[in-house]
Amino acid sequence: MAGPEDAATVAALGRRSFTETFGHLYKPEDLAAFLANHSEERWRQELADPAFAVRLVEAADEAIAYAKLGPPSLPFEPRGPSIELRQFYVLAPWHGSGLARELMTWVIGEAKARGADDLYLSVFIDNHRARRFYARYGFEYVGDYHFMVGSHADVDHVMRLPLSRAHAG
């Protein structure tokens, strides 16, 4: 698990992975406003907070992926004890390598270990690759959510995975 000493690494990876995947969709000022959320200080605070769990993956001394679990923050009414997959990023050169599957195994195991009955996430409606990935695990559509990137609102799908029937994709 990542700790406060990993804040600079995770912050840089978050900015890089978001820009790599979605940067072309936004005006520069909207992207810059969003990326400001990936500050080293903000990450240091979350990495020190036991309510969050972050798994950082490195290869050849380079950070290549991470997943972050935290308390529910999406606009939904949880059915019971719940946790949210706040971020799940794998750099493009590692897509299709099996790394995402390994990371999701950790996410589901950690969510269960923390006593959650349901795992929630939001995914951009036009991120078809991610939507297919989550569907393989049994995530169900709950509703729509407006994900803000600066002043630009994207439509995301909020999805829920009942952990009692979670399986390895």
- What is the reported pLDDT for 99? 96
pLDDT tens string 40-78: 999 999 999 999 999 999 999 999 999 999 999 998 888
Using CA atoms, how far apart are residues 147 and 124, in angstroms rounded to an integer? 8
Domain boundaries defined on the chain: 4-165
Which residues of the chain, if any, have pLDDT below 70?
167-169
Prediction pTM value: 0.94
Q: Check: CATH 3.40.50.2300 for 4-165?
A: no
Using CA atoms, how far apart are residues 164 and 114, in angstroms rounded to an integer? 13
Using CA atoms, how far apart are residues 101 and 5, in angstroms rounded to an integer? 26
